[in-house]
Amino acid sequence: MPRMTWLFGLVVWFALVVASPLARADQSDPRLPALFDQLRSAGDDETAAPITAQIWAIWLHSDDPRAAALMSAGVDSLSAGNLDKALDIFTHLTTVAPDFAEGWNKRATVLYMLGRPADSIKGIDRVLALEPRHFGALSGLGLCDALLHRDQDALRAFQRALAVDPYAPGIRLNIELLKKRLAGESI
């Protein structure tokens, strides 16, 4: 797969993960089932975008003040490009709030960005155990698997992400490119 495509995927994943606003709860929020139903039936990207933003906002917030402060500090470090500091903060967050899926997702994101896709996958597995609908983690899993040349696994991860969020940016392109690569076509 061309490096630019995976770079595009990383940029989209990073934008979704870092630029999302905070809200009131986490992956256990009772609003999520209805939001996921709305997302699947949105009909187009424009309608899906605010629903996706609401889901991210819910995932990002913790009612635990320590976890919320660590999330904020970690996102600030990530946004500033200080990946080592962000990793330290998100690692601490996962010990303070081990059931907070987005803490694990942020940590996995940083590990991917540090060129550690196998370690990122371990965190993604934890995210998906806590929030199986986490389309950001599923997309990240696809990126990690593709980087590790596990194309069939990457394709499955992207397809799972698309099943949860049919309007996820870049997923369809990554699926197309993987299918071509698996068929032996040049991409």
pTM greater than the 0.75 cutoff: yes
Q: How many CB atoms lie within 10 A of CB 132?
A: 13
According to CATH, the topology of domain 3-182 is 1.25.40
Q: Per-residue b/e over 88-118, b at no fewer than 16 CB within 10 Å?
A: bbbbbbbeebeebbbbbbbbbbbbbbeebbe
pLDDT in tens, the chain (187 residues): 555 444 445 444 444 444 443 333 578 899 999 999 999 999 999 999 999 999 999 999 999 999 999 999 999 999 999 999 999 999 999 999 999 999 999 999 999 999 999 999 999 999 999 999 999 999 999 999 999 999 999 999 999 999 999 998 889 999 999 999 899 876 5
Region at 83 (left for phi over 0; alpha for psi -120 to 50; beta for the rest): alpha
